[in-house]
Structure 1
């Protein structure tokens, strides 16, 4: 049975392949006409990205839409200048093949800068994003018109080292951006993940093609323009399909993000990253069931930070919070993934070591050893108590015993300090 998805891909790709083949033969017959057509295709696609992004931002409710629209608006402006200044058009009679090549570098650099801002600074406000692109575009175009931009193409010699090196730098930056895109979990990017990766790969292919030509009417120049157009087209199709045709997927993905956030708030203490007290009780029930079923012993450890009130009073609550986070980090690094650790309240922590553990004292020694490596201007130490249990009925007794031992240690330390 024929795969409907494969049939759909064939339906879309066949006209595109025919169009590209016709463009190839056109480039052999009249390269200037080919270049003008492919450039206006690309400019039209870039402006379509802008229009769709701007007109559907409320519908899609995706913050990346508007930024993409802003980016491709400025890229399309530079692409237009590249097109009308191309060798043979004669709108700028005193210009050579150098200026359109300079505009090409500006356009690709602007696009790469936009990707970097989108994916490495996703929370950047739109006005700052726009300001950076506006300033970069105006300064770059001004430099070309006043002859201050570095030469990119010299007649009879071909591409300059500046142009080739810049292309390779852009390729490296785009490759790094792909890895960043693949690691992003945010739904606003994740639903376009394949789209962005494909678009960036096509852009890289175009950049590499443009490092190889010596004739502005040559094959690699033809190929580079095709790759660039396809990279725009990938973005446009991604916006239409994922942002408009499949808005439900975007909503589901956003709801999933919210669910994960709420789960994080409910299950974990926001300051220390350990389990919250409420979720600790829930996880403990499962641990107790395993302990009873497999007839194992578990151990409970209760930890309290020494002189924590004095630390807060003398150094302030911000330093106190740092101490809490540091102690939690030491605890987390000293237990196994099967053990349970929670902030029980204030400066009190609870650990339950699952069966077949190495023993509470070994864990505590490891925690105290890590505490000695503190970064504060005062000593950080803990008092503790621990007890063993093997059933739900024994747990409460073990908790009370560990709590009693903890306070005995705290009281003995107070007597020493006095």
Structure 2
């Protein structure tokens, strides 16, 4: 435990100085160089010599996991260096009901080295290698282990090869458009409380997401309400002002719990929604009923996935009717996640399915971002590489 505490301290101490000096690196400029000629490219090109500042419009999605292991100290330090004014800890809990940062309660087998450790035997579904047409199977939950055991793990790039016949083959699965360059030494995992201290040290604000449990609730007497309350209590214990926190959940009941029981935090509670097979972009009557109900219940922030907010009109990326209806209802919009699901040269994956016919160049990240900012009117954009959003926010005075 002493070694872990020392590692976290060494990682966090330089935080404030790092956050004060924004270093975007070459990627935003690389993307701008490859944009089609036009007014947007001209505007972005005119900002190449700007001194960049951190912006709340730029939100680090699990840190900067395009290249760093997600939800680690290193990933979030990188995001802060790139000007992310808000950082995210996805919150789940351990066997002893302590809060930690993981994207899901059951992702330890893809995001950490647990399978290569002595803790592998504690996984809900121990590893079985692929055999013939049968894929590998494994599931390791934070609730399988204690906080002390969690703190012995290190983070890796989120990936698992379901055709792997061995643990080594299963773990060696990072996508070709990502990298293992910054994970070779392992990433430093964090408790939720440690993330609060780190983000505050880095000068960033907070957007924790209460993740849906993989275990049946209540868990050993720990109810969903206890879980939602404990997350907020850790901000109160750390003396963090409620206006610096945007708590998130896909579970509307969590959001309404905060609105009712922690109204100062609930005022900025974010209801997350995502594209589903039943999503109908034209069902405006249903949207308006849903949006009106949310506003009536005190929900002020809605966070749809990018594919819900943009569509194709007249052969170009445009704001969707869904996005316009949400804004007309008085909801503040946040969206996720830029630079997440693969290169736009090959369609961009799930996040860009609504505009896949008109995006074919990674420079189109800026095209989509411009529509989200100017036509949709989002308050902030999650990104796996915050430098791109930070550049745009500074150039366009977005959220500054």
* TM-score (normalizing by structure 2): 0.20
Which one has the largest radius of gyration?
A: 1
Identify the structure with bigger relative contact order (alpha carbons < 8 Å, sequence gap 6+): 2
* TM-score (normalizing by structure 1): 0.20
Q: Which has the higher strand share?
A: 2
